[in-house]
């Protein structure tokens, strides 16, 4: 066991944003494309998109986000996420840090409630507004689609570690997305997203995300470990680990304020 201390570094907010984003898009499915044939780039992109769709199923998992910043203690946020895409519902329960244990976020349609078990109070906000004090915007709560938001400008073959990949160069065709240019490294067989690079408008590499570990659930592939490298502030990185994944149907009461109130401190 490794001992890591929490740091009250404002990253809690960022972690929440990450969680919210993850709560919406985590799944990647297994699709076999022959390594010999060169797939049509747009089709490949649509395939990657379709894999991250969990519609029709309930999903839950525990996410652990550890963020490292040079010269500072690591910050840790752990949360259990429940998701029901059909009804645009999710519930996030904070497990760590200990001081925030039991806090929760419930979304139903455009409403988001924050729950604080220490005062047993809720705070309501609308998705249309900024969520709390974080930089989370509307777009963080909508499912992203590479095929819709980006145009493929280049497709090459390459390697990531020991795996042959298709390298897709994407250019944003809307300013709704966070990054103007995205480079995806997609494993040829089976189709899996291994790495993603995000670039700013002026072509600067902002962020690299690696998906080196997956778990398989009911024919779908889910990244179970993600590493995000901040390319601007070198040395700043986050590891996201997903455990206790489940697609077991959830009782309806999970997505209610009453369920959050069951948690007390």
Partner 1 sequence: MSVILRMAVRNIREHRSKSLIIGILLAVGTLTLVVGTAFINASEVGIRSTFSDVYTGDIFISGTSSDGSVSLFGVTSPGGMAQTPTIPDYEKVISIVKSTPHLAKTSSLATGFAQVTREDSATSEKASQGKIQPQDRFLFLFGVDSASYWDLFDAIDIVSGKKLQPGQPGLMISEGQMAKFSEWLGKPLSIGDTILIQGFSTIGFRLRELPIVGVFRLKEQGASPEQLAYIDIESLRVMSGMTVGANEPIQLKPEETNMLSTDNPDALFGEDLLVTSETSKSLDVNAIAAEISKPGAVNPLQADEGAWQFIVGKVDSPRNISRTIVSLNQSFAKEGIQAVAGNWQTASGPYGQSVDVVRIVFAVAIIILSIVAIIIIMNTFLISVIERTSEIGTMRAIGAGKGFVRSMFAAEATVLAAVSASIGAALGLLLTAVLRALHIEATNQFFLILFGGRYMNPVASAGNVLMAILVMILVGFIAHLYPVSLALKIQPVKAMQEE
Contact set for partner 1, span 202-261 (CB under 8 A): 208-210, 212-217, 221, 224-225, 227, 229, 233, 237, 239, 241, 243-248, 250-251, 253-254, 259
Binding residue for partner 1, selected from 17, 31, 39, 163, defined by CB under 8 A: 163
Q: Which stretch binds partner 1 (CB under 8 A): 49-57, 138-146, 155-163, 167-175?
A: 155-163
- d(CA 24, CA 141) in angstroms, rounded, equals 7
Q: What is the DSSP string of 37-93?
A: S---HHHHHHHHHHHT--TTSEEEEEEEEEEE-TTS--EEEEEEEEEEGGGTEEEEE
Please list, in sequence order, all residues whose beta carbon lies within 8 angstroms of the beta carbon of residue 40, skipping any fewer than 6 positions away: none
Considering only residues 19-58, where is the footprint of partner 1 by CB under 8 A? none
Considering only residues 166-195, where is the footprint of partner 1 by CB under 8 A? 187, 192, 194-195
> 122-157: buried (b, 16+ CB within 10 Å) or exposed (e) per residue?
eeeeebeeebeebebeeebbeebbbbebbebeebee
Q: How many residues in the shown chain lie near partner 1 by CB under 8 A?
A: 90
What's the min distance (Å) between Cβ of 194 and partner 1?
6
Binding residue for partner 1, selected from 25, 46, 132, 144, defined by CB under 8 A: 132
Binding residue for partner 1, selected from 54, 90, 114, 199, defined by CB under 8 A: 114
For CA atoms 68, 12, 174, 27, the dihedral sign is: positive
Query: Which tokens hold the place of 150?
Result: 């980006």
What's the min distance (Å) between Cβ of 204 and partner 1?
17
The residue among 15 and 47 lying less far from partner 1, judged by its C-beta, is 15
């Amino acid at each position: 066991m490794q001992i890591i201390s929490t740091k009250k570094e404002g990253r809690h907010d960022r972690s929440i944003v990450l969680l919210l984003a993850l709560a919406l898009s985590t799944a990647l499915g297994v699709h076999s494309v022959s390594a010999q044939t060169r797939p049509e780039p747009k089709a490949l992109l649509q395939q990657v998109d379709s894999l991250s769709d969990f519609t029709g199923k309930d999903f839950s998992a525990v996410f652990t986000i550890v963020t490292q910043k040079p010269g500072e203690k690591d910050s840790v946020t752990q949360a259990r996420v429940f998701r029901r895409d059909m009804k645009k519902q999710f519930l996030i329960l904070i497990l760590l840090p200990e001081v925030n244990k039991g806090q929760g976020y419930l979304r139903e349609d455009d409403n988001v409630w924050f729950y604080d078990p220490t005062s047993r109070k809720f705070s309501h906000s609308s998705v249309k507004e900024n969520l709390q004090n974080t930089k989370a915007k509307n777009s963080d709560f909508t499912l992203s689609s590479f095929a819709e938001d980006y145009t493929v400008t280049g497709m090459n073959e390459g390697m990531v570690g020991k795996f042959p990949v298709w390298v897709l160069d994407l250019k944003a065709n809307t300013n709704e997305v966070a990054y103007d240019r995205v480079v995806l490294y997609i494993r040829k067989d089976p189709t899996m997203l291994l790495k993603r690079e995000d670039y700013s408008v002026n072509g600067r590499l902002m962020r690299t995300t690696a998906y080196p570990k997956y778990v398989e659930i009911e024919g779908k592939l889910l990244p179970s470990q993600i590493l995000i490298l901040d390319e601007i502030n070198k040395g700043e990185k986050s590891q996201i680990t997903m455990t206790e994944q489940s697609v077991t149907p959830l009782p309806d009461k999970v997505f209610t304020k009453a369920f959050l109130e069951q948690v007390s401190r």
